[in-house]
Amino acid sequence: MKIQNICCIGAGYVGGPTMSVIAQKCPDIKITVVDVNASRIAAWNSDDLNQLPIYEPGLSEVIREARGRNLFFSTDVDLAIEQADMIFISVNTPTKTYGLGKGMASDLKYIELCARQIARVATTDKIVVEKSTLPVRTATAIKNILDNTGNPVQFQILSNPEFLAEGTAVMDLFNPDRVLIGGEETAKGLEAVQALVDIYSRWVPKEKILTTNVWSSELSKLTANAFLAQRVSSINAISELCEQTGANVTEVAKAIGMDSRIGSEFLKASVGFGGSCFQKDILNLVYIAKTYGLHQVADYWEQVILMNNHQRERFAHRIVKTLYNTVSDKKIAFLGWAFKKDTNDTRESAAIYVADYLLNEQALIQVYDPKVTAQQVYTDLNYLNSRTEVENEVLVKVHTSAYQACEDVHAIAILTEWEEFNTYDWELIYQKMQKPAFVFDGRNVLNKELLEKIGFTYSAIGR
């Protein structure tokens, strides 16, 4: 089965980069990325590649090569579905905020809407690929919808979870650790799996392409993110012990990371993990375990989330305690708002929660992030109902430079590990600040000796 036309429903952090790289690597396949958000599609089509809706190193170069040749962005969802041989579903699956499973289960309403739209529009057989992170057995639900709406079209459902790290997504797509494809173990199912294998094998070594049944594929994605988040929470738990005992968490992480059985990845102590996947996927895993009555399993994984929340609160509490147990009317600069460097994604960023804690203590927050807009900062805080204004006094100000953000502040909190922070003139920043001047390094990225020599009181996670 040769695929000539691909449609991807959802032009977000996964759909946009993934389809762009497939288009670059497979110039003979027409790929159309569709979304009902007209402003997002307009941004993808912008002549100014600096205005793409997401920031990802290397993405603009890929877009420049493929867009208009065989890569297209459109709001005409029905047309793209009708023309496609293969349809990727890459829409948002947030944690439910209502009803059964509230706070843990994935909200699949957008997935269901996609399935119903595909069933309504399709007039020829389609391969439907789950790209969104989904609970186990979602493929069965999608197939039930597609097969029971009166449409005689034949559908094959595949699971092809993404394993992208924001900030390195393009490189992850160029050279993935593995590509996972799950399908039905029937003749038609295996044929559909092979069609997708043939696309990826254009640039991915075949030994890195794994095929499984659908349910193994779905569960593998949740499990991978749970294991990575577990490592972050594990080293963060040790960071608190280090602070009490005089150990240095960076040295501890290096020592254990040299053990080949453990490895060094995801052992960097910090104010906590964020992003769209880790918390959502672990909560989903917890919900699935509870649904099957596996309460000890659920409790085990839920502790990873509790440790992450504790780390955020502990960092904020340290700021208050160090500033003489009050931050009321004190200015605190936040350097970094994105959940990690090299992305403008702020979902579940530790900065949001630390800011909310300090705002409740009546602090004044001044924010600088090289890729996050002021509008996004205020949107994030509004989502938590944070008090950003009191009696017409603005409590949160977003600046276009770090030097502006640090003007006249009592303390600086490093919330994202942007490499540019180490290039600043910290002596100049020190001169601009209230004295004594404090730096709270939530990402362990700054030079402690340099800052202390200048005159800062420096405090970092785990040391």
- Which residues are annotated as catalytic? 162, 221, 277
The Cα–Cα gap between 315 and 231 comes to 19
The Cα–Cα gap between 303 and 369 comes to 30
Q: Which of 177, 160, 173 is nearest to 211 (CA)?
A: 160
In angstroms, what CA-CA distances link 217 with 18, 137, 321, 374, 402?
Answer: 18, 10, 46, 38, 43
Backbone angles phi, psi at 219, to 5 degrees: -70, -30
Looking at this protein, which amino acid is placed at residue 307?
A: M
The Cα–Cα gap between 160 and 157 comes to 10
Do you find a cis peptide bond into 27, omega within 30 degrees of 0? no
What DSSP assignment string belongs to 423-463? GS-HHHHHHHS-SS-EEEESSS-S-HHHHHHHT-EEEETT-
Q: Which of 459, 448, 413 is nearest to 433 (CA)?
A: 413
Instruction: Give CA 60 to chain center in angstroms.
Output: 19
Backbone angles phi, psi at 31, to 5 degrees: -125, 125
The two beta strands, 393-394 and 389-390, are antiparallel
**Which tokens sit at 54?**
């997401």
The Cα–Cα gap between 398 and 364 comes to 11
The Cα–Cα gap between 258 and 64 comes to 41
Helix runs in 8-159, H state only = 15-25, 38-44, 59-66, 77-83, 109-121, 138-147
**Which tokens sit at 273?**
């993990």
What DSSP assignment string belongs to 164-195? --TTSHHHHHHS-S-EEEE--SSHHHHHHHHH
The Cα–Cα gap between 233 and 231 comes to 5
The Cα–Cα gap between 170 and 56 comes to 7
Instruction: Give CA 304 to chain center in angstroms.
Output: 17
